[in-house]
Each structure stands twice: as structure tokens, then as C-alpha cells.
Homo-oligomer: A and B are copies of this chain.
Amino acid sequence: MSDGASDRITPVILCGGAGTRLWPLSRLDRLKPMVDLTGKGSLLQLTARRTADAAQFEPPLLVAGTGEAEAIEGQLQEIGVAPGCVILEPFARGTAAAIALAALSIAPQALMLVMPSDHLIGDEAAFGAAIAAAKPLAEGGWLVTFGIAADRPETGYGYIKRGEAIGGGAYRVARFTEKPDAATASAWLAAGGHDWNAGIFLFRADAYLDALTTYQPRVAEAVQAASFAATREGGRAIPDAEAFAASPAQSIDRGVMEKSDRVAVVPVAMGWSDVGSWEAVHALGPLDGDGNAVSGDVVAVDSRNCLVRSDGPVVVALGVEDLVIVATERAVLVVPRGQTQRVKEAIDALEARRGSESDSPPCKGGD
């Protein structure tokens, strides 16, 4: 590694994620990255803090929907982080395009650390070490992904199969695989050599753009045109909508990482969670002596293994087990643990009944 300012990594924080799965805390007008699940700041704030060390990192770039600008800027201001730029997509075209917008706004050889804005990382030292391990590879033109050490046969994630070791704890990626069935997930966990794909990447901007041009030329072309015609307002950049509309919707995983042969994985165990369900929030703890994770104005009496959370009214859980109870001023959810992935069903039922009322739950995106 060389030293000097040009050596600093540019964090690129992707602020998508409707967060229907964390309804009612997340909703159309407060997306999942904006919620505080830990009492230590919103998921976005925790993400931005993770790369706030100016010795290592440039100011972050954020890519978000146009409606999120004020919320994002406000949350970053709260924690004293001044973004390099907030790039506002006129509409979502997938992560391939979103990351390309960021790549085009920095120097070609700059390193980009791409991170979702709605994950938790418990062991930041491990994350830092993984970044350090990945850096020489990224500088050498590899597209590096971080493989989360699987600790259970999870069927909800994509997996990365490690290929040959390429030094420094990294591996060539043998294969990306979408969500496996339970038997496959168990076999992989037992066999080892398979990590979860968390959507965290490190690469040079030009390496990514080159791969994008090769494998997704229409995305690359549309984003380049949209960036060229972008308007800037203060710290915001707004790509040209007409040009951006020409981009196909595509994810970086399917569109680029699965296709390139210069893709490396750095496995890391860092207490990662995508907090993709209320079940996952319960797992974060802390738990009381009865296995309950409670927060807010909550009283749990003779209740066990529940998540009880209030951001509004006082919530009393009495004699219940294995339930998730989440209350805000506007909505209350009660669902058994183990069924929390079904929240979307309830939201669909609610939307069907409510039609287009302004207070309706989120319907944005595919989270």
C-alpha cells in the first residue's frame, strides 16, 4: 500500500431498502436504513460511522432515491459526517447502475467500498482487517467481495463458493449461488468453503466500470449519459432522468460479479446481520433473563422469548411466548417468531383494504 490522500478508500453507501420486513418500524416515509434498532443510531448512521476515519476513508458517497435526500443529510449531520456527495436516483435501476453512478463521480483509480446502508456489523475490527486484506487485490484490479462466515444453514441468503486461494486470506470466487434449499445449505455449512454474500464490495472505480461495460453495456452507457447530464444542487447530484431510464434494472451480483473472472472473496467473521426480519432483530438481543428482547416503553410480565418493542404507546406483554410485538404511534404488529418473514402478507392485506391512503405501509422496492 502506498500512503497519501489518494490512497484513501471512498465509502459508497447504498440507501435502498424499503424495509417492509421491519414494518411497522420501517415504512414508506421512513425506510429501513433510517430506523434505530440498537439505540445507538440508525442503520445508516452506524454504516457511515464505520468508515468515518479520515485517515483511511474519503467522505462517503451516498446513492438514494430522490425522496430520501433530506432524511439522509439530516441523519449524517446528526453524527457529524459530511458526505462527499448524495447521488439521487430519479428511480431505482438496481445496484449495478447505482454503483456505476458512484464510480463515475470519483477518480478512475480510486478504491470504492460499496456497502448497503441497512446492515449491522458487530465486530468492526474484523471488518477493518478484511478491508486491509482486500485492498491490495482491489488495487490490482480485482473485484473483491466479502464473504460472511456462515454460522447456520440459512436459506435466505446468496452464497459464494471459494475457489483457489490467491493469498492474503482471499480466494478466487468459484461460484455465486442464489438462495439454496435447506439440505444444500446444511451440506455447505458442514463442508465449509461457502460464505454468505452480503453485498459488500471493494474495487477500483475503473475496474468496476470496465466490467460493467463488458457485461452490461446498456447499463454502462445509460449511466454514463445520465451522469454526464447530471445536475448538481449543493452536495446533491441528480442524474438525468431520461438518460437513466434507458438503463436496464440489474443487480451487481447477477450483472457483473457472477460474470467476471477477476472476482475475489475475502472471508470474514464480523458479527454481520442484514437485520432482514424481526426474528433477526430478536437475535441481536440483548435478552433479559426470560429470553425477551425489549425496548421502549414496554412491560413484559411472565413472557418468554419475545421481541417487544415500542416507539410509541406503552406495550404490555402478559403471559405470552415466542411472539414479536412491535408498536409505533401509527401501527402495531403481532406475529409469532418464526413467522416474521410473513410480514409482507399482512402489509398486502392492509394495502388492499386501505387503497391509497397516505398512511399506508411501504410498497416500495423489493426488500
Interface of A toward B, CB cutoff 8 Å: 24, 299, 301-302, 310, 312-320, 323, 325, 327-336, 339, 342-343, 345-347, 349-350, 353, 359
* CA distance in complex: A301, B312 (Å): 23
Taking a contact as CB atoms closer than 8 A, the residue among B312, B325, B331 that contacts A334 in the complex is B325
* Inter-chain pairs besides A318-B345, A327-B332, 18 sampled, C-beta below 8 Å: A299-B349, A299-B353, A301-B342, A301-B346, A302-B342, A310-B332, A313-B327, A313-B329, A313-B332, A314-B350, A316-B332, A316-B334, A316-B347, A317-B335, A320-B334, A323-B334, A325-B334, A332-B332
Known: A320-B323, A327-B327. A314 touches B342 (CB 8 A): no
B299 touches A320 (CB 8 A): no
Q: Taking CB as reference atom, which chain B residue is nearest A360?
A: B314
Q: Taking CB as reference atom, which chain B residue is nearest A329?
A: B313
Which chain B residues lie closer than 8 Å to A334 at the CB level?
A: 315-318, 320, 323, 325, 334
CB distance from A233 to the nearest CB of B (A): 36
Which chain B residues lie closer than 8 Å to A316 at the CB level?
A: 24, 331-335, 346-347, 349-350
Which chain B residues lie closer than 8 Å to A359 at the CB level?
A: 314
Q: Taking CB as reference atom, which chain B residue is nearest A303?
A: B334
A335 touches B320 (CB 8 A): yes
B332 touches A319 (CB 8 A): no
Which chain B residues lie closer than 8 Å to A329 at the CB level?
A: 313, 329
Which chain B residues lie closer than 8 Å to A312 at the CB level?
A: 313
Taking a contact as CB atoms closer than 8 A, the residue among B314, B345, B347 that contacts A330 in the complex is B314
Q: Taking CB as reference atom, which chain B residue is nearest A327?
A: B332
Q: Residue among A323, A334, A343, A347 with the most chain B CB within 10 A?
A: A334
Taking a contact as CB atoms closer than 8 A, the residue among B313, B319, B333 that contacts A339 in the complex is B319
A319 touches B336 (CB 8 A): yes
A314 touches B335 (CB 8 A): no
* CA distance in complex: A343, B318 (Å): 7
14 A-B pairs whose Cβ atoms sit less than 8 Å apart in the complex:
A299-B349, A299-B353, A310-B332, A313-B329, A313-B331, A314-B330, A315-B331, A315-B334, A316-B332, A316-B347, A316-B349, A317-B335, A318-B343, A319-B342
Which chain B residues lie closer than 8 Å to A343 at the CB level?
A: 318
* CA distance in complex: A305, B320 (Å): 15
* CA distance in complex: A319, B301 (Å): 22
Which chain B residues lie closer than 8 Å to A327 at the CB level?
A: 313, 327, 332
CB distance from A315 to the nearest CB of B (A): 4
Which chain B residues lie closer than 8 Å to A345 at the CB level?
A: 301-302, 318
A325 touches B332 (CB 8 A): yes
